[in-house]
Amino acid sequence: MDDHIHSGSHSHIHENQKAVVNRLARAIGHLNKVKRMVEEGCDCSDVLVQLAAVRSALDNTGKVILNDHIRHCMVDAVQEGNEDAIDDLCSAIEKFMK
């Protein structure tokens, strides 16, 4: 997969793939609701509440993916003596925290 947080050349199976997919589906559902609310001219405060739900769902998704990535990079670093895995991990954390 080329769409995970890090820019490394290797890919791996996300251990928590089902949890990630479920969280993404939840975020997409919230975002679709925001779109409908805007199209229907709903009150801005209600739209902002729904946007906060989108942000929360995305943050939760990112945390699950980052947790998986941390474990994966640590295993690479320890088992293979791969120092690049630590750099990769630090880069991913920095990108996620911005």
List, in order of start, the domains of the chain with CATH numbers. 17-97 (1.20.58.1000)
CA 33 to chain centre: 20
Burial code (b: 16+ CB inside 10 Å, e: under 16) for 42-61 equals eeeeebeebbebbeebbebb
Which residues are CB-contacts of 93 (< 8 A; sequence separation ≥ 6)? Answer: 66, 70
Selected residue with higher pLDDT from 2 and 87: 87
What pLDDT does 14 receive? 64
Please report, as a single letter, which amino acid is at residue 25. A
**For the segment 39-91, what is each residue's pLDDT rounded down to a tens digit?**
999 999 999 999 999 998 898 888 888 888 888 778 877 887 777 888 888 88
